[in-house]
């Protein structure tokens, strides 16, 4: 019995088989690369969350506070001598000032939850390297059993500025600094960037000069950001006399850095508006400004916003140029104006990361978590805007 | 053909360059008022380029340079004193691909009259929108959905909307650049009927690749080849008794 010849569709030659195998292998490589990247991402997030999450809780001690005459002169007298070593000095030393401001409180007393010293906090959280002396350890254990010591939500992290005492260090000053800097960056970079892009795309003739400008803008986007810091230092601080370390100097410097990103994104967005829309408007006798303003810009807007947000998110996470203009500073008080010395979130994270006290480690990680949350939110907004813009013409 | 007073557009020795490439080699043509003139010819012969010269759409191309005269009722449209915005409200254009604005049907029509300040109050605008849509033969289809986006209409409806948008400005001349090439035969027939209707009020110049369309819908035909007008005359003459061998080859389908 002779075999019937195979149907042509089923005749697979070695070449086709090799091709199929190459396809399969390539798919595997891609999947491998993806898994590799994902592993790092998961590891990064797990590490940051593991380190940072404890910082959102802070040890507090229930103490009888005596606002006596003696406490006005020596704040250590306000609390029971046995407890005072466990309580944060950054809290007790505010007592005399408070009593001077509110003399009517002198002579009163109250039982209240007060901030614990960071040694106690770290011991309670079970961290190695808490450095709490043996005799205090027993006392803390006893107080914990009596319910006179607790881990409460760390409001201080959000409503105080930097401090040399880790239990008192918070992100308020740097968060306000970041908001100020970001708003200023937006104020300078977005209008100038968008208008530059509109001019280059819709008005400027296409000649050697504009091509030169285009090449240079593209190059600027790839320049190491620290150079913008040097530029900011030279122009804004040394030449224009903007106060050093101020939000204004930071905003201007980051605006310089963000400009090319916004210009490039806006130009790409304008270019993606179909030429037929422009022709329709020009054909009806609209001027260039009317065509751009009434028809092109509305269609390009989602892309412009997306590009601007991504540029601003990048500016928000930037540290290097701010290093040069002195924003890597110790700022315990939130700034009240854009001319005061301030710092920003990533700079605060950097400052904490270089502290020698271990308790700052969890603060560092928590700062990164806050920064990441803000950046992810900004990016999510950008993605949403981009999805909404996917309309058909 | 006819006496010069019936010339809407007179084109004298029109030359056009894209950079160093000469795309039009001195075109002379008279466009007759109140008729449909079709421009035919193989791809790349310069007919669309020529059409775009008639309302200076080529101004937008940086490398493009024009010499010669295009006169609208005696006034050279390339004269420095002529404002291109003003010109385009007199010579409107309908494009190959329907390109309504991604706005409502009403807004598509109302936009140009508003920017030209032709209509200043809402009731007048309503009347103008309605009359433009009626003239473009699309009123019955869209009168109940004026606030819906123009882009939601079918291709043929979109193209008639674009025609309505053009006539809302009350131009003298309507230029059409292959207006039916993206449409099916039924939508094409509607546009051709419409052209027949519109030529009572407007002068129409149409570029087409469709011989039958040129034969059916136009009164005069110009055959373009390699940047020159080879033959120009009554459509019936061109299609039944072409004088030039190249015209005959093209319209009989032996070439092109």
Q: Distance between CA atoms of B174 and B136, rounded to whole angstroms?
A: 13
pLDDT score at B175: 94
pLDDT score at B139: 92
Asked whether the predicted pLDDT for residue A385 surpasses 90, the reply is no
The mean pLDDT value of chain A amounts to: 89
B91-94 β-sheet, strand order: B91-94, B173-177, B203-207, B36-40, B220-225, B228-234
Which residues of chain A neighbour B89 with C-beta distances below 8 Å? 284-285
pTM score, two decimals? 0.83
- pLDDT digit string, tens, across residues A369-378: 999 998 999 8
CA distances from A372 to A64, A309, A379, A380 (A): 40, 15, 10, 12
CA distance A297 to chain B (A): 12
Please tell me whether residue A103 adopts helix, strand or coil conformation: helix
Interface of A with B in 198-237 (CB under 8 A): 205-207
Which residues of chain A neighbour B100 with C-beta distances below 8 Å? 280
Task: Check A283 against B93: CB less than 8 A apart.
Answer: yes
Which residues of chain A neighbour B179 with C-beta distances below 8 Å? none
pLDDT score at A45: 92
Task: Check A299 against B60: CB less than 8 A apart.
Answer: no
Most confident of A35-39, A137-141, A271-275, B251-255: A35-39
- pLDDT digit string, tens, across residues A176-215: 999 999 999 999 999 999 999 999 999 988 888 989 999 9
The mean pLDDT value of chain B amounts to: 90
State the fold for domain A172-388: MetI-like fold (1.10.3720)
Where do the structural domains in chain A lie, given as residue ranges? 54-154, 172-388
CATH architecture of B4-251: 3-Layer(aba) Sandwich (3.40)
Which residues of chain B neighbour A281 with C-beta distances below 8 Å? 101
Q: Please say whether the beta carbons of A109 and A64 come within 8 A.
A: yes
Task: Check B115 against A290: CB less than 8 A apart.
Answer: yes
CA distances from A12 to A18, A22, A25, A147 (A): 10, 15, 19, 77
> At which residue do the structure tokens 């009596």 appear?
A146
Burial code (b: 16+ CB inside 10 Å, e: under 16) for A355-376 equals: eebebbbbbbbbbbbbbbebbe
Global ipTM: 0.89
């Amino acid at each position: 019995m002779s075999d019937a010849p195979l149907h042509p569709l089923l005749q697979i030659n070695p070449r086709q088989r090799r091709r199929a195998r190459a396809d399969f292998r390539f798919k595997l490589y891609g999947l491998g690369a993806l898994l590799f990247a994902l592993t790092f991402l998961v590891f990064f997030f797990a590490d940051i969350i593991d380190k940072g999450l404890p910082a959102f809780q802070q040890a507090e001690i229930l103490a009888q506070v005596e606002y006596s005459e003696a406490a006005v002169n020596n704040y250590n007298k306000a609390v029971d001598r046995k407890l005072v070593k466990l309580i944060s000095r950054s809290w007790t030393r505010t007592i005399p000032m408070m009593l001077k401001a509110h003399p009517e409180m002198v002579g009163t007393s109250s039982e209240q939850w007060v901030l614990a010293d960071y040694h106690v906090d770290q011991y309670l959280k079970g961290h190695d390297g808490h450095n709490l002396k043996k005799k205090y350890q027993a006392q803390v254990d006893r107080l914990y059993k009596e319910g006179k010591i607790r881990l409460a939500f760390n409001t201080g992290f959000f409503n105080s500025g930097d401090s040399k005492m880790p239990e008192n260090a918070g992100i308020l000053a740097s968060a306000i600094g970041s908001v100020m800097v970001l708003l200023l960056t937006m104020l300078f970079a977005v209008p100038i960037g968008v208008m530059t892009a509109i001019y280059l795309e819709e008005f400027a003739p296409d000649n050697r000069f504009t091509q030169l400008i285009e090449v240079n803008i593209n190059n600027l986007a790839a320049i190491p950001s620290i150079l913008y810091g040097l530029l900011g230092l030279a122009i804004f601080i040394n030449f224009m006399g903007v106060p050093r370390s101020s939000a204004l100097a930071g905003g201007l410097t980051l605006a310089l850095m963000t400009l090319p990103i916004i210009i490039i994104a806006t130009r790409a967005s304008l270019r993606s508006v179909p030429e037929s829309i422009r022709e329709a408007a020009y054909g009806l006798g609209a001027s260039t400004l009317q065509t751009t303003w009434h028809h092109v810009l509305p269609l390009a807007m989602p892309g412009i916003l997306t590009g601007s947000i991504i540029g601003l998110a990048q500016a928000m996470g930037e540290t290097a140029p701010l290093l040069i203009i002195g924003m890597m500073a110790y700022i315990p008080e939130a700034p009240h104006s854009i001319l005061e010395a301030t710092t920003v979130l990533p700079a605060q994270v950097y400052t904490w990361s270089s502290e020698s006290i271990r308790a700052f480690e969890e603060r560092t990680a928590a700062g990164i978590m806050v920064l990441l949350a803000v950046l992810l939110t900004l990016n999510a907004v950008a993605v949403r805007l981009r999805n909404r813009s996917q309309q058909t013409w | 053909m006819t006496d010069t007073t019936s010339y809407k557009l007179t084109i004298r020795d029109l030359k056009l360059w894209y950079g160093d490439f000469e795309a039009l080699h001195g075109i002379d043509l008279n466009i007759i008022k109140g008729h449909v003139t079709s421009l035919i010819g193989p791809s790349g012969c310069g007919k669309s380029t020529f059409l775009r010269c008639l309302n200076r759409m080529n101004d937008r191309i940086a490398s493009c340079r024009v010499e010669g005269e295009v006169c609208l009722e005696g006034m050279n449209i390339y004269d420095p004193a002529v404002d291109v915005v003003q010109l385009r409200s007199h010579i409107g254009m309908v494009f190959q691909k329907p390109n309504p604005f991604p706005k409502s049907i009403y807004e598509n029509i109302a936009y140009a009259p508003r920017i030209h300040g032709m209509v200043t109050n809402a009731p007048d605008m309503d009347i103008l929108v309605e009359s433009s849509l009626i003239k473009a033969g699309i009123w019955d289809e869209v009168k109940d959905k004026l606030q819906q986006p123009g882009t939601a209409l079918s291709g043929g409806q979109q193209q008639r909307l674009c025609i309505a948008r053009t006539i809302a400005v009350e131009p003298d001349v309507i230029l059409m650049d292959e207006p039916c090439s993206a449409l099916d035969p039924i939508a094409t027939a509607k546009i051709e009927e419409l052209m027949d209707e519109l030529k009572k009020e407007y002068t129409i110049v149409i570029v087409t690749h469709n011989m039958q369309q040129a034969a059916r819908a136009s009164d005069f035909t110009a055959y373009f080849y390699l940047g020159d007008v080879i033959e120009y005359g009554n459509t019936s003459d061109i299609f039944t008794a072409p004088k030039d061998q190249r015209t005959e080859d093209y319209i009989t389908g032996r070439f092109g």
